[in-house]
Structure 1
Amino acid sequence: MRTILQLPSVLSLRAFEATARLLSFSLAAQELFVTQSAISHQVQKLEADLGVALFERRARAVELTVAGQAYYAKVHAAFELLRQGTREARAPMSKLTTLTVGLLASFATRWLAPRLESFHQAHPHIDLQLQPEIALADVCGGEVDVAIRYGRGRWSDVHAQRLMPERLSVVCAPAVLAGANRPREPQDILRYPLLTSHSRQPFEWDAWAHRFGVDLRNARTVQLHDYNIVVEAALAGQGIAMGRHNLISPQLASGGLVQALPDTILDEPGIGWWLVTPKAGMSKAASAFCAWLTETAREVVLARTH
C-alpha cells in the first residue's frame, strides 16, 4: 500500500501564507486575529515539519528564503483556490457580489483596512476581496476589478484617477539622529544605509534626490521586498527610509519615526496614490467602491490641509 502523505496543519499553513504574503508576523497576526507569538509558533512548527527554513528573520522584519518562496507560490495558489471555491459556494446563498481589488500590502494594511468598516456598512452585499501583491495586477485582463497603485499614473491601457498626493520626506528612528554626526544637509544621508522597496532606486528616492541636489550613485542601499518591511526596518534603526506620510502618519505622530531633515519635504503633485480601472467600464459594485474610496481619500486630504 502507498503511504499517504501527511500534510502540515491548516493552522500552520494559514500562518505561513499570511506571513509570506504580508512579510510581517505582526500584520499576519492582525489579519488572522491571533497573537504574533501564535503566528511565530505555527511558522516554526511548519519549518520543523518540513525540515527547511522558510524565512530569514531580521530585527522587526522577515524575508522569504529560496525554499520559502517556492513553497509560498504553491501554498498561496492553494489558498486562492479555496477562497475562490468558497466564494462560489457562498454566493448563491447570500447573494453577495464579489469585488476584487489589487493593491500594495502596505496600502492595504496601513491605510485602507482601518477605514473599511464604513464601506462594509454602506454596501453589505459586496464581498470585498483585497489582493495585495508587489506586481501590478492586471485590470484589463480581469485579474482584479479595480486596482490602487502608487506612482505617477503613467500606465497604459487603463484609466487612472489620482486618489491623493503623497508627501515624502526622509525618516528614521530617533536613535539614528543621536550624536554629533546627525544629518544636517541633504547629502549627509549618504552616511547611512538607504532603505528601499522592490527596486534598487525607487522613483521616489530619485525624485527627492533630484529636488534637493543629492547624487545617489554611491549610496548604500538596502533593498527590501515590500514597503511594510521598509517601515519596520526604519523603526528598528537600520537606516533611513523615504517616508510616505499617508502610510506612516501614526509612526510620525507617536515619535517612532522622525524626519531626519524636516526642511526637505517633497510635495510633487504627480506622485501619489491612483485608482486604476479598465477603460471598458465597471460593474455596479466596482463603481460603488470607487465612489466610496474617492470620497474617503478626499476627506483625508482635506483633514490634512486644515
Structure 2
Amino acid sequence: MRSKRSLPPLVSLRAFEAAARRLSFSQAGQELFVSQSAVSHHIQKLEEDLGVALFERRARAVALTQAGQAYYAQIHAAFELLRQGTEQIRAPAGARTPLTVGLLASFGTRWLAPRLAAFSAAHPGIDLQLRPDIALADVAGGEVDVAIRYGRGAWPGVDAQLVMPERLSVVCVPALIAGPDRPRKPQDLLRYPFLASHARHPFEWDAWARRFGLELDQAQTVHLHDYNIVVEAALAGQGMAMGRHRLIAQQLASGALVPALPGAVLDDPGIGWWLVTPRGTLSETASAFRAWLMEAAIHDPMDGTH
C-alpha cells in the first residue's frame, strides 16, 4: 500500500500564501518578518516539491501562473480557516467587532492604506479586516461583509453605491515621450506597448479609445496580473498605462508619471469605485464604515495637484 506524500512544510505554505496575496516577495517578507530572499527560497522549495511553477518572475514584479492561482485559492482558504479559528479561541472580553472588506490590492495599498489610521481613530471598536483579491468577493454569499469594486456598478444580487468616480488618462514616464517624436494624437500611442491589468470584463482602454477615436485592433497590449504591477511597469518605462488618477495621485503630483496626451482625459461618472453591500439592512458596523468611506472620498483630490 502506497503511503501518501506528506504536506509541504508549513513555513513554505505561509510564504507562498503571503506572496500570492500581496504579489510581492518583499511585502510577504515584511509581513512574516523574514527577508525577501527567505521568501523566495521557501517558494522555490515549494515549487520543487510540487513539480510546478507557481510564479512568473519578472524584472520588477511577480505574477501567479495558472497553477499558482489555483493553488493559492485552496491555500488561502485553508489559512483563512486557521485565522478565524485562532481569533475565535482568543476572543478577549470586549473584543472589537470585525468587518471584512473585499477589495483590489491596488485600491487597498494606494488609496485605503494611507487612511486606515484615521478610520481606526474614528472607530476604535471596529476590527477592519481587508481581503485583497483580483477575483470579485462574494458579498451576497457572506464571503465578505462589504466590498469595494472598480467598474460601472452593475453587479447582480447586491446593492452598489458609487463612492467616487475615476478619472482616466494614458500616462507614462517623462523619458518615454521626450523629444520631437512625442505622441501628439491618439494614434501615435500605438508605437508603444499598452499596459493593462487583469479584468473579467476589460473596459478602461475601450472606453478611453472610444472617447478619443483610437482603434485598438493594432495595439500591442501587455496583460498584467494586478494594477499595482501596471503602475510599476509604467514607472520602469515599459509602456503606456491607463492612469487611474485616484490611485496614482502621488506619482502625478511628483511628475514620476505624466499624461502622454495632455488634455485627453476621460471623466465618465459611471466609471469609478463602488461600495458593494448585501441587499437589505446593513449592520451597524458596515453602516459606520460606509459613512466614513463616503466622507473620506469627498475630501480626496482627484489627481494630487490640488
TM-score of the aligned structures, taking structure 1 as reference length: 0.89
The yes-or-no answer on 1:116 pairing with 2:116 is: yes
Q: Percent identity?
A: 72
Tell me: CA distance 1:77–1:280, structure 2 relative to 1, closer, same or farther (3 Å).
same
The aligned runs of 1:170-249 (5 Å cut-off) are: 170-199=170-199, 202-249=202-249
* 2:277 aligned residue: 277
Paired amino acid for 2:211: R
Paired amino acid for 2:63: E
Which deviations, in whole Å up to 9, do the C-alpha atoms of 1:182-216 show, x marking residues without a partner? Answer: 21111111111111112487211111111111111
Tell me: CA distance 1:94–1:254, structure 2 relative to 1, closer, same or farther (3 Å).
same
RMSD: 2.6
CA distance in structure 2 between the aligned counterparts of 1:291 and 1:30, rounded to whole angstroms: 32
CA distance in structure 2 between the aligned counterparts of 1:28 and 1:263, rounded to whole angstroms: 39
Offset of 1:27 from its aligned partner?
4.0
CA distance in structure 1 between the aligned counterparts of 2:36 and 2:256, rounded to whole angstroms: 20
Offset of 1:251 from its aligned partner?
2.0
CA distance in structure 2 between the aligned counterparts of 1:11 and 1:235, rounded to whole angstroms: 33
Tell me: CA distance 1:78–1:170, structure 2 relative to 1, closer, same or farther (3 Å).
same
Offset of 1:244 from its aligned partner?
0.4
CA distance in structure 1 between the aligned counterparts of 2:168 and 2:223, rounded to whole angstroms: 18
Q: Report if aligned partners of 2:97, 2:285 keep a CA contact under 8 Å in 1.
A: yes
Q: Report if aligned partners of 1:172, 1:259 keep a CA contact under 8 Å in 2.
A: yes
Tell me: CA distance 1:302–1:207, structure 2 relative to 1, closer, same or farther (3 Å).
closer
The aligned runs of 1:57-206 (5 Å cut-off) are: 57-91=57-91, 93-199=93-199, 202-206=202-206
CA distance in structure 2 between the aligned counterparts of 1:42 and 1:254, rounded to whole angstroms: 37
Q: Report if aligned partners of 2:196, 2:221 keep a CA contact under 8 Å in 1.
A: yes
Paired amino acid for 2:183: P
Give the gaps of 5 or more residues in structure 2.
none
Tell me: CA distance 1:193–1:260, structure 2 relative to 1, closer, same or farther (3 Å).
same
Greater displacement, 290-299 / 32-41 = 32-41
CA distance in structure 2 between the aligned counterparts of 1:172 and 1:210, rounded to whole angstroms: 20
Paired amino acid for 1:154: A
* 1:260 aligned residue: 260
SS at match of 1:246: coil
Greater displacement, 164-173 / 62-71 = 62-71
Paired amino acid for 1:143: E
Which deviations, in whole Å up to 9, do the C-alpha atoms of 1:66-112 show, x marking residues without a partner? Answer: 44234323321221111111222233544221211111111011111
CA distance in structure 1 between the aligned counterparts of 2:79 and 2:56, rounded to whole angstroms: 23
Q: Report if aligned partners of 1:11, 1:42 keep a CA contact under 8 Å in 2.
A: yes
CA distance in structure 1 between the aligned counterparts of 2:285 and 2:200, rounded to whole angstroms: 37
Paired amino acid for 1:242: M
Tell me: CA distance 1:165–1:21, structure 2 relative to 1, closer, same or farther (3 Å).
same
CA distance in structure 2 between the aligned counterparts of 1:201 and 1:153, rounded to whole angstroms: 12
Would you say how many aligned residue pairs link Structure 1 and Structure 2? 306
CA distance in structure 2 between the aligned counterparts of 1:182 and 1:200, rounded to whole angstroms: 33
Tell me: CA distance 1:30–1:305, structure 2 relative to 1, closer, same or farther (3 Å).
same
CA distance in structure 2 between the aligned counterparts of 1:71 and 1:50, rounded to whole angstroms: 10
Higher helix residue share: 1
Which deviations, in whole Å up to 9, do the C-alpha atoms of 1:219-269 show, x marking residues without a partner? Answer: 111111211111111112221110101111122233332221122111112
TM-score of the aligned structures, taking structure 2 as reference length: 0.89
Offset of 1:17 from its aligned partner?
1.1
Tell me: CA distance 1:261–1:223, structure 2 relative to 1, closer, same or farther (3 Å).
same
* 1:17 aligned residue: 17
Paired amino acid for 1:208: W
SS at match of 2:237: coil
Which deviations, in whole Å up to 9, do the C-alpha atoms of 1:41-85 show, x marking residues without a partner? Answer: 443454455554321111212112244234323321221111111
CA distance in structure 2 between the aligned counterparts of 1:253 and 1:44, rounded to whole angstroms: 39
Q: Report if aligned partners of 2:101, 2:129 keep a CA contact under 8 Å in 1.
A: yes
Q: Report if aligned partners of 1:200, 1:221 keep a CA contact under 8 Å in 2.
A: no
Give the gaps of 5 or more residues in structure 1.
none
SS at match of 2:196: strand
CA distance in structure 2 between the aligned counterparts of 1:150 and 1:237, rounded to whole angstroms: 25
Offset of 1:287 from its aligned partner?
0.9
